[in-house]
């Protein structure tokens, strides 16, 4: 009778699967040997079980876990229902969405690191004419800026249907003299088009800035004051005069880096041409 059966090692070689995997499948009840010799403990498999192993492989390939396949085996059926297949399709859609988000996050991280590597500490650049969605509010301190953006401003921009430019450009403007608390701050993010204002978001056009002194700031936002002081010293040393409201642009922050010491911002101070 065993002439038509294969020892576990022979079966594993023919099916290109490890003995360890076959023993694991046996333990889970996925693929039990056709016969186990009670004296030697040798396991024997039928040739027909190669088809069963093929079904298991196909189910794994389309996203079924071994536990889910074992349930189908308990039901003497390795053919999932249409309902189960639809569940897997829905899972795939969710995973694709998560992968797209991860891809976008990775791309932003790489872009920001490339920008950081290429950026000199002080540069003079022009700032183009843009449309922004803005929100102005007095916040308790710089730590409140992140929650303000992703809990209030972001959801409202999404509700209004704002289309942000690529690459993204967002910045803040402080409307009072420097202070560590009770900061009168305006958050602006570049968008593709003007939309009707809401109670939270106002849209405006900003004229181009022919020349702006740009300074790289690395670290938490609480240290912006130190960088601004350094930038103004640089301006004084080089005979540069301010010609508009300074901006603080956010290149890499909490959305990419958990460590505030690795956050990267860009101070942009309009100067006389």
pTM recorded for the entire structure? 0.56
CB atoms within 10 A of CB 97: 10
127, 167, 265 from 269: Cα distances, Å: 10, 21, 13
Cα–Cα dist 21/17, whole Å:
7
Cα–Cα dist 76/122, whole Å:
71
In the numeric block, the tokens 């006389």 are attached to 272
3-state secondary structure of 267: strand
DSSP per-residue letters across 40-100: T--EEEETTHHHHHHHHHHHHHTT--HHHHHHHHHTT-----HHHHHHHHHHHHHHHHHHH
Residue 112 near residue 184, CB atoms below 8 Å: no
pLDDT tens per residue across all 273 residues of the chain = 456 788 999 999 999 999 999 999 999 888 889 888 888 888 999 988 898 898 898 898 888 888 888 887 665 666 777 888 888 889 889 989 888 888 887 887 777 666 655 556 889 999 999 999 999 999 999 889 889 998 999 999 999 999 998 888 999 999 987 777 899 999 999 999 999 999 999 999 999 999 999 998 989 888 888 999 999 999 999 999 999 999 999 988 887 888 888 888 999 999 997
CB atoms within 10 A of CB 239: 7
Cα–Cα dist 53/25, whole Å:
10
């Amino acid at each position: 009778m065993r002439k038509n059966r294969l020892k576990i090692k022979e079966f594993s070689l023919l099916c290109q699967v490890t003995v360890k995997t076959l023993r694991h499948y046996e333990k889970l009840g996925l693929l039990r040997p056709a016969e186990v010799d009670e004296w030697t403990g040798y396991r024997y498999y039928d040739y027909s079980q190669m088809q069963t192993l093929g079904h298991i492989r196909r189910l794994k390939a389309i996203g079924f876990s071994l536990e889910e396949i074992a349930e189908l085996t308990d039901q003497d059926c390795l053919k999932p229902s249409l309902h189960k297949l639809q569940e897997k399709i829905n899972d795939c859609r969710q995973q694709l969405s998560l992968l797209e988000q991860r891809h976008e996050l990775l791309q932003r991280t790489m872009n920001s690191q490339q920008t950081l590597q290429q950026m000199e500490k002080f540069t003079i650049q022009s700032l183009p004419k843009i449309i922004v969605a803005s929100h102005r509010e007095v916040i308790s301190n710089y730590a409140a800026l992140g929650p303000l953006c992703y809990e209030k401003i972001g959801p409202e921009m999404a509700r209004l249907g704002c289309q942000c430019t690529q690459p993204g450009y967002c910045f803040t403007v402080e409307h009072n003299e420097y202070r560590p608390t009770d900061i009168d701050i305006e958050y602006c993010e570049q968008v593709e088009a003007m939309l009707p204002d809401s109670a939270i978001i106002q849209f405006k056009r900003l004229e181009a800035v022919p020349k702006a002194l740009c300074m790289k700031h690395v670290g938490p936002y609480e240290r912006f004051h130190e960088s601004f002081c350094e930038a103004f010293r640089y301006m004084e040393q080089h005979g540069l005069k301010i010609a508009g409201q300074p901006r603080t642009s956010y290149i890499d922050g909490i959305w990419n880096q958990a460590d505030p010491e690795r956050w990267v911002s860009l101070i942009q101070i309009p100067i006389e041409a």
